[in-house]
Amino acid sequence: MRLLFLSIFLLFFAGCKTIEKETNTTTLINLPAKSTIIKLLPIRTKGINYNEEVWVDFSAELGYEGMLIKVKNVKLVDSSHPESKELIKKSLKALNQWSFNNSKFKGDTDKRYLIRVSGNRL
């Protein structure tokens, strides 16, 4: 019985990976406005009031994956609800699925960008 409890405990905490916090936000670049982004918004999170602004800011590098540009090396910058680990986790999951059209991306892939995940579906 103890072994079963220990196994469940370890599996639970193995899935609770924390995201690294961005320490140098002064060098982050906003995404170019003309970039074509394929966005997937995260699923709503319980306990969040969606009548107010809901967002999570991340910093990330952009790198090529075939014909698409994807986010990599993602770090947390800030959140409208920093106490909600679930909101941050779902936003990160959605961000990792974003892709940018290679031919229309107007930026550098060797820079760190400030990326806001927001929307009424957050």
Total Cβ atoms within 10 A of residue 105: 19
pLDDT in tens, 36-74: 555 666 677 888 887 888 889 999 998 888 878 888 899
Burial class (CB within 10 angstroms; exposed 0-12, middle 13-18, buried 19+) of 19: middle
Residue closest to 19 by CA, chosen among 84, 100, 99: 84
What is the reported pLDDT for 36? 52
- Tokens for 105? 């991306």
Amino acid at the residue 13 = F
pTM: 0.73
Q: SS3 for 61?
A: strand
Under the banding of pLDDT at 50, 70 and 90, the label for residue 4 is very low
Q: Please determine, for residue 10, whether its predicted confidence score (pLDDT) is greater than 80.
A: no
Angle at 116 between CA 112 and CA 118, to 5 degrees: 165
Q: In 17-118, which residue ranges form alpha helices assigned H by DSSP? A: 85-95
Q: Please determine, for residue 3, whether its predicted confidence score (pLDDT) is greater than 70.
A: no
Burial class (CB within 10 angstroms; exposed 0-12, middle 13-18, buried 19+) of 87: buried
pLDDT in tens, 71-115: 889 999 999 988 889 999 989 998 888 887 776 666 777 789 898
Domains contained in the chain, CATH given: 2-118 (3.30.1150)
